[in-house]
Structure 1
Amino acid sequence: MGVRELPTIMAGPMLRRVEDRQAFIWIALSQPYHMEAEIFKVTRDKHSDGFTYTEVDCFSEAWTVRVGKRLYVSLIKVSPEAGIFPANTLLGYNLTFSSNRGETLKLGDFGLLSSDHPAAIVYEGLAYPTFYINEGTKNKILYGSCRKLHGEGEDVFLEADRMIAANPTTTDRPSSLFLLGDQIYADDVADSVILPVIRLGEELMGREEELGIVEPRVNQPLFKKAIGQINGRQYISKRFCRFTSRKAANHLFTLGEYMAMTLLSWSPELWKLSPDYGMFKSFHEWTEEDGVYFAFKDRDSMEYNREHELLEERYQKQGMEVAGTVDALNAVRRVMANTPTYMMFDDHDITDDWNLSEEWKSTVREAPLGKHVVSNGLASYWLCQGWGNDPDSFHHFAKAMRAYLESYQPGSSSHTRWMNLLWDYDSWHFTAPTTPAAVFLDTRTQRDYEHEPQPVKLFRRIEEVRKSPNLIKEAAWDKVTAKLSASGWREGEPLIMVSPTPLYGIALIETFLQKYMLPLRTFGLPVQSSFDLESWKYNGKGFNEFIQRAADLNPSDCIILSGDLHSASAVKSYITFHDRESSLTIHQFTSSPMKNMSYTGMGGSLMKLMMWINARNRTNRTIHRSCDQECNLILKDGKGGGDTDLKWTESIRYLPLNDGTLIETKNNLGVFTYDSGEIGNMLI
């Protein structure tokens, strides 16, 4: 494996947690540097059209984890030496890089501070990347989810970049960015990307990850070859990892691969080396190099030729979408460099269907390779996403992470401790210091599973299926409440609850899928198979627990921001509790996908048509529902009344979006606004 010259800054800088007494900046480098940050107060120059930059006296320190031989991930903490950072004021920042060789560099030395440079992270007229700390009763927050390198449609980060560029110097620009899950698709990797990611991952780590120690079967010649080919990992994912993703032909396995995919998703830097890694090679070239796995080996057979044709078509289509994402990466990087960013995982960040059921969780944990791959995904999430959400709560992680990465030896005692720490960790949730305050919920690792079968009517027959999980168990709710209280939030204040999985699913999709689309599969008709329709609505106990907990908090306004569904919607619910003589109003806004349109092709067109018809029937209509003492959710034809044996009743209304429709299936990004109690939502 030849050694290539990697860019010094491979991703970042990215603004992470920002509050009045400290700010954090994330960056990924290919070599070690001592780093410091400077903060500037930015004001208009009275004598010109320019700006004056007044340095704020600060103290900074950098925490660095050497992930691999050529990958260093750092968080730079910067704090004012006295007092607090000024609120509602434009602030700029710069970074200084000092090496043991006596070299000193700043962001400008990498071409990042010249507005006419294609890789610039500054907005026109400004000398530095900027942000502001919101204080008061007015705020604007960007939120969204589901962004895949080869997802269909334009990357909506381009629209976010345009929004900030149109007004970069005032506090009317977004103060925060919430990414609500599926920041990468670890299970669904483009054919044109997987081999370069494998090679890049090995270069970042400085060695090959010895998966054969974890699962000896992958050392068998057939599997050892397939794991390094395009389209070669589906069987290994299913049989050895025990994953359930239907699109796992190029599933990420190693820590280097997870890290490489994340860096490639956030920054244009490594794409500059694309020829060296074979990015955008033709399908024919890969085939000639024996880089493609074919189930049918006889090249003269009809089956091989058909498989070749389908794979080539898929390769070319995915490659075109990847090229569109690469074109947007300068905008992606600039938005995150200028906007404090908070992130929570969902399933695709690790693998599709992650912790979908208790059986899934136990089966994968008992599969050595499955447990290892999930650990790699969680480690990558912590390094690139989780750490910056609330750095003060993760100090113990760095010790375990460094202990394993120092040896990077699967099967060692440090490897076992590292995996168990990641699998057993129960505090991925966090609060964000926004206005209103936000609490991010972990709806993946803190699930509770029920075992009683539940009768479901499907295709005119009764089927026994397991209940859907309670997405947040009782003990996890206690931790969330404690963390929220420790953050300084108090009862009677507005509150944003960030739930990657929506509390209110989109009945326009779910009802239609069950009633019309699933039966079509039995007739071989094209049906979309990539809808993540996991919803709280299928578990009355979990739904009841959520709203009871929200009512206990007693916020003045309860806002839920969600993603996941590959569609956007807005819902308002008014809940009356019968046992506590109180009420709760919930506003839920869902934004998805950022780049991964799903409602395409014949099945997608049929889906959108039926949703449109269904939406017309729901326009200006209120849905009435109640919850009985056994937590069964009961739809009612009217407001009802007279039934006192109920926990609560609610009225639900779907709210129109920008163009008056109730649902948006194109790529979108939500813009949540809050102004003195006035709640607003729009899509870009």
Structure 2
Amino acid sequence: MTAQLLIGPVLRRVDGDRATLWLETSSPALARVEVDGAGAGSTRTFSAYGHHYAMVTVEGLAPDSANPYRLFLDDRQVWPEAESEYPPPVISTRPTDDAAQPVSLIFGSCRKGTPQVSGRWLPPDALDAFSRRLMTDPETRPDLLVLLGDQVYADETSPKVRRFLRARRSNGHDGPADQVVGFEEYTKLYLESWRDPEVRWLFSTVPSVMIFDDHELIDDWNTSASWRSDMAAQSWWRERISAGLASYWIYQHLGNLSPDELAADPLFRKVSEAEDATELLHEFGLRVDEPGSAENTDVPYQWSFSLDLGRTRLIVLDNRCNRVLTPGARAMLPAAEWNWFVNRAHGDYDHLVVGSSLPWLMPPAIHYLEAWNERISESHRPRSAAFGEKVRRTFDLEHWAAFGKSFAALGELFRRLGEGGPEAPGHRVGAGGAYRAPASISVLSGDVHHSYVARADFGHAMATPVYQLTCSPIHNEVPLPLRPLMRVAWWPGVVHSVRALALTMSVRKPLLRWKKLAGPYFGNAVGTLRLDGTVASARIEGTTKEGDLHDVVAVDYRR
């Protein structure tokens, strides 16, 4: 049987003279990539759940180049397609000595794969709009696309996927009628979303990294220990969590790893060598569905990752799977993973960028509400705790403020880094022997279906500016009744009232303050962060009714 290209190629990491590309095929095949000028790589597909995938590592790329490439399956060219109306896909590399070269990141989250969802039509897709602009203006090509969660929605499906699910349920497959459960059902989400023509071309020519949020599994994923207990009682949940994490590992996480990290990953090695990796991945999905530990022990699997681009360090954090949910010791990351993060946050770079699917700095009124809710949900009075848990789930009160110790620890880490000095070991030594703080710290986030920029104030002059950049959704929308609430949550009078509520549970005022500089903007959008020398420039662009991009937020900051 002749292998067909189902999804991809998706260009993932470009590291020096090497690059990785991900793809899915209809049957086993030898996948080969040839790059004009210099560079080639090939590998055989691996199989799981009756599907076939490949991670092709291309080696020998020329520095400081943007060369077209071709993908072959068993010596038959399948990409670019013969009749394609789009520009040839390219693999771009940075100069060998790229310390003085600027870095450009595109970011965002929350993308529905089709324009129609649940009987309603969504505004134009911002990723489609960015792709069309890049086709006509290659100079706008970014170094990296950073997708910050909800790349697919397992619990909010399109009419086409729901028809498929109804047929599956009628044939005896357990699960909700309108939500995916098994691996085969997950593949339909990626097929629907990633074969969008403009997005498919964009993925084939711009490197990308990705991290999950809740909707890859289900809304409110791992919000509390009580939530986990309730979900475990559902007959279909074990299959959902196993398939969800296994499919995320294949479709998204593998591409976050460099060629060396892929080679060192024991699971990837086993999967690549297995004739059929279904059982391996099914067991993996169940095994890694364990809440994190407050103790300094290894996590079942680390989803967080890091990479350097020129003088910029990007660290993307898992805000979902490895949370510590033990009452009284709740944390966004378990101790071992937090220590890894702190170690990566110290080093020789100019700009630190932290990818967090959930915003660190929320509208202050919502921050205090979440902090109050965390306290009341852990009350020793059963009725109070039950009330707090009900409020938590109803209003999605599960951001950094709902993990108060982690919120404070992240702020303290940024303060120490921003002040420089001996407290920030690992920083390069500047003139005169003093430690030099980074030029900027930026937290990229999504989730909340609106976009805004806020700056942290640590109460004293600090060399490094610290910014929260939130861009969401790429292709979704926030219900109209919620939009006024997002606006007033920044108003001082409202903040004061909710803080008074938080004081009833002895919630302390944070050691830092933050101020909104721009937003909120409620349309579909993509964000751009450009880092050049000591200057960071951020902008958020929304889509017009015609599907074009226009500026809605712009801000510059420097040391």
Q: Please say whether Structure 1 and Structure 2 have the same fold, judged by a TM-score greater than 0.5.
A: yes
Alignment of 1:144 with 2:108, yes or no, is yes
Which structure has the greater CA radius of gyration? 1
Partner of 2:63: 86
Residue of structure 1 aligned with 2:130, choices 160, 172, 178: 160
Cα offsets for 1:566-617 (capped at 9, x unmatched): 111101113258xxx97763111001011110223xxx2xx33454566676
Paired-residue identity, %: 23
Partner of 1:547: 411
Residue of structure 2 aligned with 1:667, choices 524, 541, 545: 524
Answer yes or no: is the 8 Å Cα contact 1:379–1:422 preserved in 2. no
| Distance (Å, rounded) in 2 between the aligned partners of 1:31 and 1:365 | 35
Return the letter of the residue paired with 2:16.
Answer: D
Cα offsets for 1:606-637 (capped at 9, x unmatched): x334545666769xxxxx9xxx9x995417xx
Alignment of 1:371 with 2:351, yes or no, is no
Residue of structure 1 aligned with 2:332, choices 465, 468, 471: 471
Partner of 2:276: 406
Residue of structure 1 aligned with 2:220, choices 353, 364, 384: 353
Partner of 1:209: none
| Distance (Å, rounded) in 2 between the aligned partners of 1:19 and 1:140 | 15
Residue of structure 2 aligned with 1:261, choices 189, 205, 209: 189
Aligned partner of residue 125 in structure 2, secondary structure = coil
Aligned partner of residue 669 in structure 1, secondary structure = strand
Cα offsets for 1:122-167 (capped at 9, x unmatched): x2xxx44343437334122110101123452211112211331232
Return the letter of the residue paired with 1:158.
Answer: D
Partner of 2:483: 608
Partner of 1:381: 248
Answer yes or no: is the 8 Å Cα contact 1:575–1:583 preserved in 2. no
Partner of 1:556: 439
Tell me the CA shift for residue 386 of structure 1.
0.1
Aligned partner of residue 76 in structure 2, secondary structure = strand
Return the letter of the residue paired with 1:133.
Answer: R
Pair 1:674–1:28, CA change in 2 (3 A): same
Answer yes or no: is the 8 Å Cα contact 2:368–2:401 preserved in 1. no
Return the letter of the residue paired with 1:393.
Answer: E
**What TM-score, normalized by structure 2, do the two folds share?**
0.75
Cα offsets for 1:530-576 (capped at 9, x unmatched): 96453212333121111223445554321110001111110111325
**What TM-score, normalized by structure 1, do the two folds share?**
0.62
Tell me the CA shift for residue 401 of structure 1.
4.6
Pair 1:22–1:514, CA change in 2 (3 A): closer
Return the letter of the residue paired with 1:86.
Answer: P
| Distance (Å, rounded) in 2 between the aligned partners of 1:33 and 1:414 | 21
- 1:138-537 matches, within 5 Å, as 138-149=102-113, 150=116, 152-168=122-138, 170=139, 172-196=140-164, 225=170, 236=175, 249-267=177-195, 329-364=196-231, 369-391=236-258, 392-394=260-262, 395-398=265-268, 401=271, 406=276, 408=278, 415-416=282-283, 419-421=286-288, 423=290, 425-435=300-310, 436-452=312-328, 469-482=330-343, 484=344, 490-491=347-348, 493-507=350-364, 532-537=396-401
| Distance (Å, rounded) in 1 between the aligned partners of 2:107 and 2:130 | 10
Return the letter of the residue paired with 2:55.
Answer: L
Aligned partner of residue 357 in structure 2, secondary structure = coil
Alignment of 1:107 with 2:78, yes or no, is yes
Return the letter of the residue paired with 2:253.
Answer: G
Pair 1:382–1:156, CA change in 2 (3 A): same
Pair 1:504–1:633, CA change in 2 (3 A): farther
Tell me the CA shift for residue 192 of structure 1.
3.6
Residue of structure 1 aligned with 2:53, choices 44, 69, 73: 73
Tell me the CA shift for residue 195 of structure 1.
2.9
| Distance (Å, rounded) in 2 between the aligned partners of 1:173 and 1:509 | 36
Residue of structure 2 aligned with 1:597, choices 455, 472, 477: 477
| Distance (Å, rounded) in 1 between the aligned partners of 2:243 and 2:275 | 11
Pair 1:175–1:575, CA change in 2 (3 A): same
| Distance (Å, rounded) in 2 between the aligned partners of 1:512 and 1:343 | 29
Answer yes or no: is the 8 Å Cα contact 1:531–1:566 preserved in 2. no
Cα offsets for 1:441-499 (capped at 9, x unmatched): 011122123424xxxxxxxxxxxxxx9x42123221112344x37xxx72463110101
Pair 1:337–1:533, CA change in 2 (3 A): farther
Partner of 2:42: 61
Alignment of 1:566 with 2:487, yes or no, is no
